[in-house]
A and B are shown apart, each in its own frame.
Chain A
Amino acid sequence: MDPGVAAQYAFNGLMLGVIYAMVAVGFTLFFGVLDVIQFAHGDVVMAGAFVALATSLALHALGIAVPALVVIVVACAAGLAMALVGALIARYLVLPLRAAPAFNTLLVTLMLGSILRELVRLFYPNGSNPQPFPRLLPTVSKNLGNFTLRLDSVILLVTGIATIVMVNLVVRRTRFGLAIRAVAQDSDTARSMGIDFERVVLVTFAIGSALAGIAGVVYGLYYNEVNFDIGLLLGVIGFSAAVVGGLGSIYGAILGGFLFAALQTIGSVALPVSSAYNNVFAFAVVIILMTWKPTGLIAERPSERA
């Protein structure tokens, strides 16, 4: 294969992968602290994208047109709004259900996802239709043989990776991250050591959801289009990526995200059958991987399991 074309495949895959990884990291964080699965997470990504879109339109209406400023404001708005949504979900849906079977949390958040989706569809003006997302990043491109490198895509890729790295640093290197990891290991002991359990849970949900909100912005800027139902598939893919990588492990989620993107790319171009089967192929491989390694590619250390 032509090296330019190969590079193009790799770059497309990386872009997809970084979006998936950002979603998957949220799933894994939530599972880490509370052993719950927050199934509305994909729709939080969608909500983030719509907050960003609404903010950009508002800024436009106010006459603020400096692209760099708009991008930063838009990303902050989406991140903060989703952090709040995440904390609210934790406070009013997940924590009260702690004593109930985990199955209930899964169902409740699944329903919450439908509610978020329908709210956007019904209340965002013309919300049933795909919404054009403004092109806020510089579109200059460089052709290297068959490889076209666009500045906007590079910025998005770097931003995505940087946010994931930051979240990882917070969890691994800060005092608060230590608290998160303590709660993840053994919440009862952590509590007896004076860690404010509820606060840790709320902030963890806020961080994971802010990441999802920013993923929504990256998604919007990359595809220049958002739709009320993008969260559904993103949620399933993000969750599968987290599980394949090893639920509870951040590195596993990242690995899973990129793996899934690679599988989709291979499914689109390397299969003899129609490329419409790329998701069939990717999920089939995920099923095989899960049978082979039920605890994920990067399994949590046994001591981390509650």
Chain B
Amino acid sequence: MQRMMLTACAFALACVAAVPSMPASAKETVKIVYIGPLTGGNAALGLGGRNSADLAVQLHNADAKAKYTFDLVKLDDQCKPDIGVQVATKAGADSSIIAGITHYCSAVAIATVDTYHKFGLPVIVWGAVLPAITYGNDYPEIHRVNGTMINQNEVNAKLVTSLGYKTWVIIHDTTDYGKGHDEYFTKFLTQDGGKVLADFGVGADQQDFTAILTKVKELHPDVVYFGGLTPIGVRLRSQMDKLGIQSQFEGTSGIVSDSYIQALGPIAEGTIAFIDGAPIEKLPGGKFFLDQYAAHHYAEPPEAYGAYAFVAANLIMDAIEKVGPNRKAVTAELAKTKDHPSIVGPITFDAHGQNIVPIVTAYVVQDGKWVVWQDSDYAKGKRKLAGRK
């Protein structure tokens, strides 16, 4: 009798497995992939994104009404384009993976778009800001929930020129990411009347910047602008201090991370940087996200782009719930995304799969925290940025 029961069970299970779309009490498991930098200098952001995507999956799986159970595969791109293409190929070649939440680093995201297109794997970029990732191709597979560096540099140039600064030195890393920031910031700054005294490209793993910074010191710029990511941002700011450079320091979304402040300590005070979108705690779903994140006891904070990884995971899961675990169908479904409610506000993809994000938020480091510029003591005049009286 027992034997018969077992056989019956096995038969029932086999049926469920063989006919995936058949509604059954045991849910089908669907694999989706998260890719971001889990090791290396930008790992803090990658881990925050991973946890946030994981949170979305866990919340979804806890929902009894959902048709599918999701399994999040986590891969590490190390913020290196070559490794990124390798893991993208791995994800693309695995036909059980239906869609991806991919990349914080622009240099990696731009290197992998061809791979995703080749394998027909729909992905949503959750943190990389290089415009060309969505605008440089017509691949229907590529989407992005966060904004591009065009918007943030426009807002950046407006704000800093309005503070009365006149002269800049631009330092950027020589990846596509850094060069993109250099290009757009220079363009908007010149329009707004700022003057670029010098423009330096630096290697993405360079350690010593004292020679360049000595030249910067000689030029006495009002502001040093850095287009690049946290590790070099930390080294530059630290070595500026060593050389006694008094200029104001500002960066891009690439340095808005808790690890920037942690590594620099008090020297981080007064650094300005920008992020696309509004600060998470001010968003409609921000409190919900932060509460849930805290309730799940992740070891690392969500960091600046965690909310976007969360939203990207939800968009993908919602699409799969609607059209089933099929890459082509999911790609087609994502293209239709319009005013889709999310914790970062409604998501609408344009023809290139780019979410239209109208907001950019300025931040300044105050007392060891990234504080929204408008709420800071600096904007209120209680404290002064470098060179302001």
Contacts and interface: CB of A to CB of B under 8 A. Distances in A.
B210 A12 contact: yes
Given A8-B214, A15-B210, A223-B238, A128 B244 contact: no
Contacts of B231: 130
A288 B200 CA distance: 27
Interface residues of B, dominant DSSP: helix
A164 to B, nearest CB: 20
B262 A132 contact: yes
Contacts of B202: 275-276
Contacts of A209: none
Contacts of B40: 128-129
A135 B206 CA distance: 21
Nearest to A230: B207
B242 A128 contact: no
Interface in A72-109: none
A265 interface: yes
Interface residues of B, number: 33
A191 interface: no
B263 A9 contact: no
Which of B44, B200, B210, B234 has the most chain A CB atoms inside 10 A of its CB? B210
Nearest to A274: B201
B43 interface: yes
Contacts of A15: 210
B257 to A, nearest CB: 12
A150 interface: yes
Nearest to A9: B214
Given A130-B263, A148-B244, A274-B201, A12 B39 contact: no
Interface residues of A, number: 37
Contacts of A8: 214, 217, 243
B244 A143 contact: yes
B211 A275 contact: yes
B200 A5 contact: no
Nearest to B230: A130
B207 A223 contact: yes
A269 B201 contact: no
Which of B202, B211, B215, B234 has the most chain A CB atoms inside 10 A of its CB? B211
Interface in A138-174: 141, 143, 146, 148, 150, 153
Nearest to A143: B244
B174 interface: yes
Contact of B238 (A225, A233, A268): A225
Which of A2, A146, A279 has the most chain B CB atoms inside 10 A of its CB? A146
A217 to B, nearest CB: 16
Contacts of B211: 9, 12-13, 264-265, 268-269, 275, 278
B39 A5 contact: no
Contacts of B243: 8, 12, 148
Interface in B174-229: 174, 200-203, 205-208, 210-212, 214-215, 217-218
Contacts of A269: 211-212, 214-215
Nearest to B234: A225
B235 A223 contact: yes
A9 B205 CA distance: 21
Contact of A5 (B44, B206, B218, B259): B218
B39 A2 contact: no
A31 B319 CA distance: 65
Nearest to A131: B263
B202 to A, nearest CB: 5
B345 interface: no
Contacts of A132: 262-263
B41 interface: yes
B173 to A, nearest CB: 8
B43 A129 contact: yes
Given A8-B243, A223-B207, A279-B203, A130 B41 contact: yes
Given A148-B243, A148-B244, A227-B41, 6 more contacts: A15-B210, A129-B40, A224-B238, A264-B211, A275-B200, A276-B201
13 contacts: A5-B218, A8-B217, A9-B211, A16-B210, A128-B43, A129-B259, A130-B231, A130-B234, A148-B242, A223-B235, A269-B211, A269-B214, A275-B202
